[in-house]
């Protein structure tokens, strides 16, 4: 009797549905990045020069858009590599996914911030911090999956450890970049 | 002859497509929450202090964003648990899903409202009310599914009833919280 | 030799992918409706009365939001009934789907317009017109599917014709409503 | 030992997931086009004439919306034709897809720009350029797939080459249109 409620409520989470939700959030985050690129108010509607000048003036916003869509693409690719190795989704893995999805959904804000104020230290830190939180979540995904024995048992243990080390290295490098940027650059 | 039109028009709704639509709406609602976080207009574009001050001033908006994405994640998780137990989707269940999807789609508005005016009683009531409507819809989903015999017949009836009680309890607790907040807090 | 290019380029369109695209557009249209509900600028941030007054003043916007999400839900449900009966997607059916998706994607604009100016005849006509174009597209979907023999051959022909009549009737009733509204209501 | 890491990290990318992401981005790009159609501020809320005048004044925005949703629909259709022929997704193909998705996600910006400033040469060039980048990416998809032997081996090689020629022709025609527009039209 006490066993049965666990059947419905503690069954592993649907891997397909979590994948849908995750891919949906990435698709939207990658697309709404463009909403931060504003259409200018031109004094002379037909002036090519005025429109080009606007683009030149807002070049950092376009650069941030391009960088961010590429980064989200890379994040998605990395998740796709790791997710394939899971053979069940535990509640802890769901929590890690919520973290992954929240940082992906937050990324358009960081991208807009650094696109608007590329010379502002806090904006750059927010951007690097957002990216770092996502990479850290990917690393957590892999470590939690190992701890909870949620990985496909057919995977080579040596390879699994190599991937752990790679992701830990990336997490540390990105953190060092953010801290280094903060400490080394002169205060404005 | 009178039987046949029912074949096309009264056939059960595709469980997979409703799942897509539902997951899509959740993915979007969780992502567009970020559109309420506005990029500030800085007087001094490179001023770290000014940007930090803006963040400190708008901390409730960031708090509301985080709380709301976690709540939508929990709602999605609960739906995923219940939906798996359905073995057909009747029209009444579609109506309940429309209610679920409408409250999820409305949630970004509640989140924005409480993020902007965290000290406003009506904003808090709207937020709690929106969450309550969603939890009530989840409870309705489970009760309607039982009444219409849409649940997987292999489920343990004792467990099914336990889940009904749990969801009813949550619905009542959340309602009590909203009412208590309204009655007990001093009027501003 | 002339046959083979048609293998790749004239093969029927993937039914699953068109379904994804369609469901995705519906999920987004239903969710971005909420972006038209604006957060007010309150003079007194904690004033319940001021916020309630704002809601009362913008009640038509909330009404339009609710009506529109229900209408999109019904449109989705009708499409789901018809789409299931198709056994291949021809190019003409893709064109009809583009029409369906365009009218669904345009619907948030109509909803925002009528929510802002509920007493403006042109806003109401745009809303009814948008809904009519969608219902007409559903009717076209069914008629084109019959003409191109894209319906599941196991369907009862009598039932197929009954459905054609029902959709034609709905298309005409909605058109009559729009025209009647335009002709009968006094000019403001 | 050196072989095994490649098992996880160099396995081909999931064709289904990339399809989801791609279709999701198209669904969103096609839907958020509508966000550029702004609701006017009417002096006289019930004035049909004022609202009609607004629509007439902003007719290019509506035209650009319609053209862009049709173009995105055609792009999606072309991708669907080519994607079906792939039997595995290599990293190079993922890069091409990122290019395809980035240009699709950028399209609403181009559409908004040309809808607002239809007489501005730079706006038109941006629109044609955006479309050209997408068509060039589709061509690249087909060429890269052939080079990497990622196409279904059962396809007729003659047909494959015909399709390459068609896409190359389209890419060149669109480029010629953009260049021709830029060179031949009088400077404003």
- List the structure tokens of B59: 């901390």
Please name the residue that has the structure tokens 């080079």.
D147
Reported confidence tier of residue D2, pLDDT bands at 50, 70, 90: very low
- Bridge partners (DSSP) of residue C86 are C151
**What is the C-alpha separation between C109 and C104, in angstroms, rounded?**
10
Q: Cβ(C78)–Cβ(C138) under 8 Å?
A: yes
Average pLDDT for D59-85: 95
Measure in Å the smallest separation between the Cα of C43 and chain B Cα atoms.
Answer: 11
Q: What is the pLDDT of residue B7?
A: 72
- Write the CA distances from D128 to B57, B124, B129, D32, D184, integer angstroms: 43, 48, 48, 19, 15
Query: Are A117 and B48 a contacting pair at CB < 8 A?
Result: no
The pTM of this model reads: 0.93
Residue indicated by tokens 């892999």:
A142
Largest CA distance in chain B: 76
Per-residue pLDDT, C5: 40
The C-alpha atoms of residue C113 and residue D55 are separated, in whole angstroms, by 12
Question: Cα-flanking dihedrals φ and ψ of residue B63, to 5°?
Answer: -65, -45
CA distance B186 to chain A (A): 35
Cβ C89 vs Cβ C15: under 8 Å: yes
Q: From the CA atom positions of chain B, what is the Rg in Å?
A: 21
In B33-156, where does DSSP find H-type helix? Answer: 48-57, 59-83, 91-116, 121-147
DSSP per residue, chain D: --SHHHHHHSSPBPHHHHHHHHHHHHHHHHHHGGGGSPPP--SSTT-HHHHHHHHHHTHHHHHHHHHHHHHHHHHHHHHHHHHTTBS-B-HHHHHHHHHHHHHHHHHHHHHHHHHH-TT-HHHHHHHHHHHHHHHHHHHHHHHHHHHTT-B-TTS-HHHHHHHHHHHHHHHHHHHHHHHHHHHHSPP-
Mean pLDDT across the stretch D82-94?
A: 93
Measured torsion, CA atoms of residues D38, D43, D46, D48, in degrees rounded to the nearest 10: -70
CA distance D73 to chain C (A): 7
Query: Which residue has better confidence, A12 or B93?
Result: B93
Q: C-alpha angle B115/A175/A112, rounded to 5°?
A: 40
Q: SS3 of C71, please?
A: helix
Tokens of C111: 């909803």
Numbered residues of chain A with Cβ closer than 8 Å to any chain D Cβ: 19-20, 23-24, 26-28, 30-35, 37, 39, 42, 45-48, 51-52, 55, 65-66, 69-70, 73, 76-77, 80-81, 84-85, 155-156, 158-160, 162-163
Determine which of D15, D28, D107, D129 to mutate to test the interface with A (most A C-beta atoms within 10 Å): D28
Residue whose structure tokens are 């607002």 = D116
Indicate yes or no: CB of C30 within 8 angstroms of CB of B27.
Answer: no
| Regions of chain B with pLDDT less than 70 | 1-6, 186-188
Q: Between chains, do C80 and B117 touch, taking CB under 8 Å as contact?
A: no
pLDDT score for D42: 92
The mean pLDDT value for A145-169 works out to 93
Task: Kindly give the parts of chain C with pLDDT less than 50.
Answer: 1-5, 188
**Could you give the residue ranges of the DSSP H alpha helices within chain C?**
3-9, 15-32, 48-57, 59-83, 91-116, 121-147, 157-184
**Chain D residues in contact with chain C using a Cβ-Cβ cutoff of 8 Å:** 19-20, 23-24, 26-28, 30-35, 37, 39, 42, 45-48, 51-52, 55, 65-66, 69-70, 73, 76-77, 80-81, 84-85, 155-156, 158-160, 162-163
pLDDT at B62: 96
Q: Write the residue in B34, B80, B84 that is nearest to A105 by C-beta.
A: B34
Distance from the Cα of C66 to chain B's closest Cα (Å) equals 8
C-beta atoms of A117 and B85 within 8 A:
no
Supply the pLDDT for residue C187: 55
Decide if A46 and D120 are in contact by the 8 Å CB cutoff. Answer: yes
Residues A4/B158, Cβ–Cβ less than 8 Å: yes
Interface of C with B (CB under 8 A): 19-20, 23-24, 26-28, 30-35, 37, 39, 42, 45-48, 51-52, 55, 65-66, 69-70, 73, 76-77, 80-81, 84-85, 155-156, 158-160, 162-163
pLDDT (tens digit, 9 = 90+) per residue, D114-160? 999 998 999 999 999 999 999 999 999 999 999 999 999 989 999 99
Please give the helix or strand (H or E) that residue C40 lies within, else none: none
Q: Which of A23, A108, A167 is the best mutation test for D, with the most CBs of D within 10 A?
A: A23
Give the per-residue pLDDT at A12: 83
pLDDT at A138 over 60: yes
Asked if D65 contacts D111 with a C-beta cutoff of 8 angstroms, the reply is: yes
What domains are defined for chain D? 4-184 (1.20.1410)
Nearest-angstrom CA–CA distance, B38 and B61: 9
Contact C23 B24 (CB under 8 A): yes
Q: Residue C177 has what pLDDT?
A: 87
CA distance B163 to B177: 21
Measure C13 CA to nearest chain D CA, in Å: 8
- What residues in C contact D155, CB-CB < 8 Å? 7-8
The shortest C-alpha distance from B120 to chain C (Å) reads 4
Residue D27, pLDDT > 50, answer yes
| Percent of chain A clearing pLDDT 90 (strictly above) | 79
For residue C88, what are its two tokens? 């291949």
Query: Which chain B residue is nearest to residue A106, measuring alpha carbons?
Result: B34
What's A73-139 look like in SS3?
HHHHHHHHHHHCCECCECHHHHHHHHHHHHHHHHHHHHHHHHHHCCCCHHHHHHHHHHHHHHHHHHH
Quote the percentage of chain A above a pLDDT of 70: 95
Nearest to A109 among B20, B28, B34 (CB): B34
Mean pLDDT, residues D66-73 taken together: 97
Query: For B37, which DSSP code?
Result: S
Q: How far is CA B122 from the centre of its chain?
A: 19
Which residue of D17, D25, D48, D164 is the best one to mutate when testing the C interface, meaning the one whose CB has the most C CBs within 10 A?
D48
Between helix C91-116 and helix D59-83 the angle, nearest 10°, is 140
pLDDT at residue B178 in the model: 86
pLDDT (0 to 100) of residue A168: 96
Q: Spell out which residues of chain D touch residue C101, defining contact as CB-CB under 8 Å.
A: 30, 69, 73
The pLDDT, as a whole number, for residue A182 is 81
C-chain residues near D163 (CB < 8 A):
5, 8-9
Three-state secondary structure call for residue A185: coil
Q: Which residues contact B28 (CB under 8 A, 6 or more apart)?
A: A24, A28, B105, C27, C28, C31, C32, D28
Q: Do C73 and B24 touch (CB under 8 A)?
A: no
DSSP helix/strand/coil, C146: helix
């Amino acid at each position: 009797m006490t066993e049965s409620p666990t059947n419905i409520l503690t069954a592993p989470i649907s891997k397909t549905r979590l994948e849908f939700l995750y891919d949906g959030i990435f698709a939207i985050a990658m697309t709404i990045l463009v909403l931060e690129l504003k259409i200018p108010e031109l004094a002379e509607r037909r002036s090519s020069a005025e429109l080009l000048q606007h683009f030149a003036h807002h070049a950092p916003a376009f650069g941030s858009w391009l960088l961010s869509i590429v980064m989200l693409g890379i994040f998605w690719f990395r998740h796709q590599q790791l997710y394939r190795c899971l053979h069940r989704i535990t509640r802890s893995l769901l929590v890690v996914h919520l973290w992954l999805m929240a940082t992906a959904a937050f990324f358009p804000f960081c991208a807009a911030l650094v696109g608007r104020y590329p010379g502002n230290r806090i904006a750059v830190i927010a951007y690097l911090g957002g990216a770092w939180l996502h990479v850290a979540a990917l690393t957590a995904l892999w470590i939690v999956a190992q701890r909870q024995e949620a990985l496909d048992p057919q995977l080579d243990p040596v390879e699994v450890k190599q991937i752990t080390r790679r992701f830990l290295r990336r997490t540390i490098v990105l953190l060092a970049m953010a801290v280094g940027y903060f400490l080394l650059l002169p205060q404005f």
